[in-house]
Structure 1
């Protein structure tokens, strides 16, 4: 749906910005995916805690690991399908490396959603409570991804959210893989039109500025009136405003494994601390109190 909503966004500055925003819109599915996974885990966890744990059929760590691993094939299939629909409608056909990296980012996105869902719901009593926590965390991640507000424009206190949000690296790596190197063709509304001095061509008038590594392109250097200047020449310049660089694309993908590993580690830690230790002690105390009152 997102791919066809932003179908062939064009090569203008606005078109490149729309393409970047389309990647962010794909990431907006994150919250919905997470909230569909959590109720399934709660059902399995409840069954284990009520029946399987007391019969020693299997360990709690097996429960968690099985729930995470069983979803990975589905995440891979979803990632491939989403890539096929989105990549060719928005980015078009690019080099094998770039298209392969976009595919890897899509697969990573779905695996991240799955592990994040388990991390949030593992210590909490139900999926409804976990859903409220997910909404808050997701809002923070998506708002500070560098698209709505560039990193330079963020207040100093909030720059850390830009650095720790997984969406920063997901959107950045995906966008540069699909857009970098594309020339910008400014629309008429994006052109800077001005008049050169009498008897002087646009090229001669703009030459000192253009020789200083000007970022844009003069479209009619031989004209003597209505000089048209496109302020940007390549999509790289639009991406750089949001801190997205092609040289960092593989780093951005590699950081995804750190987030996934953190989520998985946190699932085990949270479940052990809150469901086995703190929660278990509370249940034991509650049962003991009830027995004393009965006596």
Structure 2
């Protein structure tokens, strides 16, 4: 959580360091962090639902991708999921078949569980563990959470380095720019 604080403040400081005035920085910061980075981290839009153009480069360049992996991966991975009745997918098995028999091939290849495999009115929960959910935002293994925490720390360090670089790049004209 502390890395989250460092990450968003360092990105904001880097934007402010090069912005010509406070007004420009105040408008640019939420656009870059909110609309830009949060939109491509795999949670707002799941990894598999991202357009391939964004999935193969922006997803991996987005520091919030690794922040989310580090925050959630270790916490939810081993949690057993029990769906509430309103969360279950309900359907009828074909005539003469039980839910377990009808869904056997699907369940062997997918995540989730049937509430009662001997019933003919099927109730299916799409996740059986937190790992099933974590895989929707591209955390394929439990150790990815620690890997992502380390990558987030590197993003924090590089973001603060960017603040220093942005301060050095400012010209005398932008350093003395005043807001109206």
Question: 1:154 is matched with which residue?
Answer: 50
Q: Deviations over 1:69-107 (max 9, x none)?
A: xxxxxxxxxxxxxxxxxxxxxxxxxxxxxxxxxxxxx11
Task: Judge conservation of contact 2:92–2:121 (CA < 8 Å) in 1.
Answer: yes
Among 139, 159, 178, the alignment partner of 1:263 is 159
Task: Judge conservation of contact 2:78–2:131 (CA < 8 Å) in 1.
Answer: yes
Alignment partners' CA distance in 2, 1:258 and 1:215: 33
Task: Count matched residues.
Answer: 172
1:109 equivalent in alignment to 2:16: no
**Structure 1: gaps spanning 5 or more residues:** 1-105, 284-295
* TM-score normalised to structure 2 length: 0.79
More helix by share: 1
Q: Deviations over 1:208-243 (max 9, x none)?
A: 4278345222322344x3243333322211221121
Question: 2:63 is matched with which residue?
Answer: 166
SS of alignment partner, residue 193 of structure 1: strand
Alignment partners' CA distance in 1, 2:129 and 2:4: 27
SS of alignment partner, residue 220 of structure 1: coil
Offset of 1:118 from its aligned partner? 2.2
SS of alignment partner, residue 212 of structure 1: helix
* TM-score normalised to structure 1 length: 0.51
Offset of 1:172 from its aligned partner? 2.1
Offset of 1:179 from its aligned partner? 1.3
Alignment partners' CA distance in 2, 1:213 and 1:118: 47
Offset of 1:180 from its aligned partner? 1.4
Task: Judge conservation of contact 2:47–2:138 (CA < 8 Å) in 1.
Answer: yes
Offset of 1:141 from its aligned partner? 0.4
SS of alignment partner, residue 122 of structure 1: helix
Alignment partners' CA distance in 2, 1:117 and 1:281: 17
1:120 equivalent in alignment to 2:39: no
RMSD: 2.7
Q: 1:135 to 1:188 in 2, by over 3 A?
A: same
Alignment partners' CA distance in 1, 2:83 and 2:136: 17
Alignment partners' CA distance in 2, 1:222 and 1:191: 16
Task: Judge conservation of contact 2:72–2:145 (CA < 8 Å) in 1.
Answer: no
1:193 equivalent in alignment to 2:91: yes
Give runs of ≥4 in structure 1 deviating > 3 Å.
Answer: 195-198, 200-203, 210-214, 280-283
1:242 equivalent in alignment to 2:137: yes
Q: 1:197 to 1:141 in 2, by over 3 A?
A: same
Among 98, 105, 108, the alignment partner of 1:209 is 105
Q: Deviations over 1:176-202 (max 9, x none)?
A: 22211222222334233323544x654
Alignment partners' CA distance in 2, 1:114 and 1:214: 40
Alignment partners' CA distance in 2, 1:219 and 1:281: 64
